[in-house]
Every structure is written in structure tokens, then in C-alpha cells.
Amino acid sequence: MYSYQKENIINTKIEDLMIKSEKVAHVQVDNPLEHALLVLTKSGYSAVPVLDRNYRLKGLISTTMIMDTILGIESLETEKLSLLKVEDVMNSDIPRLKLNHEFVRALGLTINHPFVCIEDNMGIFCGILTRRSIIKLFTKNLTKLPNS
């Protein structure tokens, strides 16, 4: 049998668990699609945040969104990679967390999203919280009960 340190988990601060913006691969709204595809492919991430020139969070872009856009009826319309910009394809309807939100809010959001973007009160991108880091936190706070 196992028990877990409930307080440690509930009282976790989003800031303590997030990957800070400096370490997060991102693209900008006005980058051509081919740049986004390059970042996604080279980083190995399936989706990355989209920021404007002032580092404000604008949305997410994924390899699937790009492939879906360039998929023609019979062939790949690769010219779209240089003609279209990230903002033409990105999803701007994304879940967001603020630095001062309670951790339980993050828990709920990561049920359906592998990561959630965090912004400050001015909308400036601060980093991401991944489902992986939350599962790690739970694992770290599990204790095996004696005689079990």
C-alpha cells in the first residue's frame, strides 16, 4: 500500500514546476510555416507555443496542424510552407495558466493537454507546465507504507 503527501502536491507553486520560457522552444506569429516545421522537427516536440514580438502568448502550433494545411487532394502543397505564416495556422484557443493560479487548476487542465502555457498578468509568456512534471511530482510524493 502507498500513501502520498497530499499537502506537498496541493501546495505546489506553478512557478516551481514549470519549464521556464528560456528553455522552451517557440516560434513567432510572423514566422513562415517552414520555420515552424523546422523547429518542431528538430526539437522533436509535437507542439510548441507561438509568441508575438513582445513575448506575449498567442497560441500553439503543431506538426499535425501544418501537415493538415499543406495536405492537398493528391499531393503535398509544399509551396504553402513559405507562403503562409504561423498565425494563419496556429490554434489561438488554448488553455492558459497564470503564475498565481492554484496548482489544482493545472491538474485539471493537463488531463486533456500534454502541456499548458503559463503567462503573467500582462500576457507575457513565462513557461510551460507539462503532464510529465506533474506525474513526476506525484511519484516523488508517494511513500510505501510499512508491512505492505
Convert residues 63-92 into a mask of x (bound to ligand AMP by CB under 6 A) and - (unbound).
Answer: ------------------------------
Give the nearer residue to ligand AMP in terms of CB position, either 25 or 83: 25
Q: Does 23 bind ligand AMP (CB under 6 A)?
A: yes
Q: Which stretch binds ligand AMP (CB under 6 A): 29-37, 51-59, 66-74, 124-132?
A: 124-132
In this chain, which of 25, 83, 104, 124 binds ligand AMP, going by CB under 6 A? 25
Determine which residue in the list 29, 37, 47, 50 makes contact with ligand AMP, applying CB under 6 A.
Answer: 47
**CA 82 from centroid of its chain's CA atoms:** 25
Binding site for ligand AMP (CB under 6 A): 19, 23-25, 45-48, 114-115, 128, 130-132
